[in-house]
Chain A
Amino acid sequence: MAVLKKLWDYTRNTQLWNSIFRHGPPDTARNRGLVVLTNVFLHLHPVKVRRSGIRLRFTWCMGGITFFLFLVEVATGLLLMFYYHPTVEYAYVDIVDLREQVPLGVMRELHRWGAHAMVITVWLHMLRVFMTGSYKPPREFNWNVGVLLLVLTLLLSFTGYLLPWDQLAMWAVTVGSNMARATPLLGHEGPGSSLLKIGDISLINAGNDARFALLGGRFVGAGALLRFYVLHCVGIPVVAIILMAVHFWRVRKDGGISGPV
């Protein structure tokens, strides 16, 4: 024991340790605060959390579980990217390959189950925040950030849906993206788009409307697969991560997790 203590004391006094941690051991309230404040990741989190605020019966830990699932999706998704080609030729066989041949064939299922679970926990988190009135001032802004994160979660699910490139994926996304035809002004079947015309030529048609930009073509094909892949793996996650940072940081700035009234 004495040896361990000596080693510990020695380590804490090395220049290396002190260059990383600029505060003493977390045995005083001040140092415990500094642990959080001087860490780039932890500083997003409230320095102090009310005991009542983290009662499981109050928060259901749904926000935390959602974040955990997001991390699961990032980790499993990154691994899947090592095997998957977003091309018409290979997409489907790569998915089969991931299931049948690649070691730990459950990886893709983990990604899929995690995605389903994340959608559920996001909704439950929203329900909890609503039922506990935690959206009320001063937390209105953070509620709105949360709504954006909900939309991004659903978009992640939607874009990921296409990637297996099977019949279900094709038609689900065909049906889903057909909604973009009805975008006001920018969809060629949407309200107001017929107003945008020069003489007899309408400016918005199937070859240049919102759906076309989403799919990179007139129907769900190679272009759509690649676009959805890029959005799924890079575009939406980056925006989601930025908004999550804002979301967590605002919890702290708005006075920590709201307590039961």
Chain B
Amino acid sequence: MAAAPGKPASAQAATPSVMTRRGFLSTLGVAWTAFAAACAAGAVATTRFMFPNVLFEPPQQFKAGLPADFQTGTVDQRYKESFGVFIVRDEQGIYVLRAVCTHLGCTPNWLEAENKFKCPCHGSGFYRSGINYEGPAPRPLERYRIVLADDGQILIDKTKIFAQEKGEWSSPDSFLKV
């Protein structure tokens, strides 16, 4: 609550060296408000400090090469290490499975001989499509957005996730027809 301008000046003119009660209280109010605001700003800034602007992580979108680089009937693991994805091609086209177990987040392995994904942590199993069929995983593996870039390469976008149980696997970007 700021004092009306002019008022304190006249009060001070009357009693030059004595602060009035009203002037003191309003100064106190301003001081505490400023102090509280400074503390709050400090707290916000400190919290923000914990969220880095630049991450030394692989980008969320990347180009994975031409569709012809992926053979029909294979589960491709070349970007499993670097980007955490399986790229699967079947007769209809290509889809990208997120290599994160839907149980508690470990990385499943593709077992070619048994034609399934198997999670090493608690043994969840998934079909080639990503559908879960054994172990504790409660839902299928998720798929990432896949589109063709202007240069004809496959563009994989990890910011968009398609979940089978929400019926999202039928949306056009979850699947690349080739």
Contacts and interface: CB of A to CB of B under 8 A. Distances in A.
Contacts of A171: 106, 121
Interface in A215-232: 216-219, 221-223
B104 interface: yes
B13 interface: no
Nearest to B47: A213
Interface stretch (B49-57, B85-93, B144-152): B49-57
B30 to A, nearest CB: 33
A58 B60 CA distance: 59
Nearest to B122: A175
A216 B105 contact: no
B55 A208 contact: no
Contact of B51 (A178, A213, A219): A213
A219 B57 contact: yes
Nearest to B56: A222
A171 B103 CA distance: 12
Interface residues of A, number: 14
A212 interface: yes
Determine chain A's interface SS by DSSP, over half rule: helix
B50 to A, nearest CB: 5
Interface residues of B, number: 11
Nearest to A212: B51
A216 B104 contact: no
Contacts of A216: 50, 52
B123 to A, nearest CB: 13
A166 to B, nearest CB: 14
Contacts of B51: 208, 212-213
A21 B56 CA distance: 56
A212 B57 CA distance: 13
Contacts of A218: 55, 57
B107 to A, nearest CB: 8
Contacts of B106: 171, 174-175
A220 to B, nearest CB: 9
A181 B75 CA distance: 29
Nearest to A222: B56
Given A175-B121, A208-B51, A217 B104 contact: no
Contacts of B84: 219
Interface string B96-114: 0000000011100000000
A221 B121 contact: no
Interface string A199-242: 00000000010001100111101110000000000000000000
Nearest to A206: B159
B57 A178 contact: no
Contacts of B104: 174-175, 178
A118 to B, nearest CB: 26
Given A174-B105, A175-B105, A213 B56 contact: no
Interface of B: 50-52, 55-57, 84, 104-106, 121
8 contacts: A174-B105, A175-B105, A208-B51, A216-B52, A217-B55, A218-B57, A219-B84, A223-B52
Given A216-B52, A217-B52, A223-B52, 20 more contacts: A171-B106, A171-B121, A174-B104, A174-B105, A174-B106, A175-B105, A175-B106, A212-B51, A213-B51, A216-B50, A217-B55, A217-B56, A217-B57, A218-B57, A219-B57, A219-B84, A221-B56, A222-B56, A223-B55, A223-B56
7 A-B pairs closest in CB distance: A175-B104, A178-B105, A213-B50, A174-B105, A171-B106, A217-B57, A217-B55
